[in-house]
Amino acid sequence: MKFSEFNFHRDIAKGVKIAGFKEPSPIQEEAIPIIASGSDLVGQAHTGTGKTAAFGLPMMDKLARGEIERALVITPTRELATQVADELYHLGRFAGIRTLTVYGGVGYGRQIALIHKGVQIVVATPGRLKDLYKKGKIDVFNPEIVVLDEADEMLDMGFLEEIKEIFEYIPQNRQTLLFSATMPEPIKELANDILYQPQFISAVGDDETTNNIIDQRYYMINESQRDEALIKLLETEETNKCIVFCRMKREVDRLTEHLQALGFSAGGLHGDLEQRDREIMIKSYRRSEIKIMVATDVAARGLDVKDVTHVFNFHIPFDPQSYVHRIGRTGRAGKSGQAITLVTTEEFRELQRIQKEVGAEMRLATLQGADGLDDTGREYLAEQVRDIAIHNDASGMLEYMSDMDKDMILEKLMSRLIEQEKQHIGSQIGFDQETVDTMMQNYTGEKKATRNNNRRRKRR
């Protein structure tokens, strides 16, 4: 099928041609005729499959033909709102369609003024939109088409109540479109509440949970190896743009500074950034001025950037759904991607739970590290030495080696320690399958022994 077969208004068709669109994606081919017919729609599709054009083109076609006057798109984040508005502007600019983004962190005045002047499409985040409606600032804006984009993201971010309240201010005689990558029960309930006899389409396989064109692997490491492992991976992987996920804001700041000090083009993204700094950071990332984005889960919600080749889980996510959201930043629009997770013995059970719940096929991998000891290895050994209790026979042993220089004794003992601890500080980053199996058996045995001891104490 060709885009010309949709018979868009000539000004919309011109925008499609300039954008280089020739053949519609599966979600576009299914959604556009349904939206053009005026039916409500529930569309299940991952980000990067062409959703914006799928709802944007028929919506703007109706605007260009004068069939409707206003449309509203609700997105979970400011970044996604900006991105959607930009794409709609470029596709609809020849029809003179005016688009406005509405989100928090900036003044109300300009947004209210432009809505009253008659912008045709408003792309908004739930919080600011609810405030404007609730305060009676945009009563004039009565959209005939409403789009909920990334509905499951809005659920995860706690916006469900805001969404329900917003729909109390919107006219009932509207066309409503809901798009979501997953369909948890609360989203199905929301669809039942706000849509009228919707048609359902899906561009997601029945058993698809994580993108099957993403190569997923993990490295079993010691905690002390995290920085070294990530740096070695960044040096050896053929990355274009990548995202490094951390759990904590302070870890984002620390790791970003560390990578910058080593000469990497890195930037940090977390919730404590001022809105202006956040926008500058994301713009630099999109323009490839920054190649590595270090981010928390919340900060990366709705972050849709093309050509992300790698996602690194510096820390394993808190839950399986976060894993799906993280790795979904790569492998988009039919392109392959790499998802790499660093995991310790203590975190391995959590990794297995994620694998089981989301159906992820992760493979164990190893990486050749640097020759000799680095600072991380030296720090690890120094900590081991500090923790060694002095044995009663230690002084006596020194008398048996009185023919040797004390520095020589110390170097020989350190050599023995290095040899004993080589699996923790050796040149290979990540343990092989045999070592992992042995470690997990030992770890399971230790945990079982601890539980048994705790039970005995309780009985006493």
List, for residues 228-250, the tens digit of each pLDDT value. 899 989 988 888 899 999 988 88
Closest CA to 214 of 100, 79, 363, 319: 363
**Domain at 214-368, CATH homologous superfamily:** P-loop containing nucleotide triphosphate hydrolases (3.40.50.300)
CATH of domain 3-202: 3.40.50.300
Provide the token pair at 119. Answer: 């912008």
Amino acid 400: pLDDT: 84
- Rounded Cα gap, residues 147 and 191, in angstroms: 12
Does position 48 have pLDDT exceeding 80, yes or no? no
pLDDT band of residue 208 (cuts 50, 70, 90) is very low
Q: What is the mean pLDDT of the chain?
A: 85
Q: What is the pLDDT of residue 154?
A: 87
Which tens digits make up the pLDDT trace of 149-207? 988 888 877 889 999 999 999 989 999 999 988 788 888 899 999 999 999 998 765 44
Name the strands in the sheet holding 199-202, side by side, starting at the edge strand that comes first in the sequence.
99-102, 121-124, 71-74, 145-148, 175-180, 41-44, 199-202
pLDDT at 93: 92
Q: Is the pTM of this model over 0.85?
A: no
Give the DSSP H or E segment for 244.
Answer: strand 241-245
CA–chain centroid gap for 293, Å, is 11
- Sheet with 362-364, side-by-side order of all strands: 266-269, 292-295, 241-245, 308-313, 337-343, 214-220, 362-364
pLDDT greater at residue 258 or residue 399: 258
The whole-number pLDDT of residue 209 equals 45
- Report the distance separating Cα 59 and Cα 48, nearest Å: 19
> Helices H, strands E: what count in the chain?
19, 16
At 137-155, the pLDDT tens digits run 998 899 999 999 988 888 8
User: Which residues on neighbouring strands pair with residue 242, listed in sequence order?
Assistant: 292, 310
Q: For residue 247, give the nearest of 159, 324, 322, 345 by alpha carbon.
A: 322
Could you give the CA distance from residue 262 to residue 374 in angstroms, rounded to a whole number?
A: 14
Tell me what pLDDT residue 207 has: 40
Residue 314: band (very low, low, confident or very high) from pLDDT cuts 50, 70, 90: very high
pLDDT over 70, % of the chain: 87
Identify whether the C-beta of residue 337 lies closer than 8 Å to the C-beta of residue 215.
yes
The type of residue at 32 is: I
Show me where the domains of the chain are located. Answer: 3-202, 214-368, 372-426
pLDDT band at 301 (very low <50, low <70, confident <90, very high): low
* Plot region of 116 (φ>0 → left; ψ -120 to 50 → alpha; else → beta): alpha
Question: What letter represents residue 221's amino acid?
Answer: I
The packing angle between helices 348-358 and 433-459, to 10°, is 110
Percent of the chain with pLDDT over 90: 41
What is the predicted pLDDT for the residue at 16? 92
pLDDT at 435 over 60: yes
328/144: higher pLDDT: 144
Residue 149, both tokens = 């984009």
The rounded distance, in Å, linking the Cα atoms of 127 and 161 is: 10
Tokens found for residue 210: 């994580």
The pLDDT of residue 275 is above 80: no
Whether 3-202 shares its CATH topology with 214-368 is answered yes
Question: β-strands 428-429, 367-368: how paired?
Answer: antiparallel
Residue pair 43/202 in contact by the 8 Å Cβ criterion: yes
* Rounded-to-10 torsion of CA 353, 354, 356, 360: -150
**In the numeric block, which tokens belong to residue 250?**
């302070």
Phi, psi of 2 (to 5 degrees): -110, 155
Q: Higher confidence at residue 460 or residue 62? A: 62
Q: According to DSSP H, which parts of 391-432 are helical?
A: 394-400, 406-420, 422-425
Report pLDDT digits (tens) over 350-407: 888 888 777 777 889 887 655 566 666 677 778 888 888 888 888 888 888 888 888 8
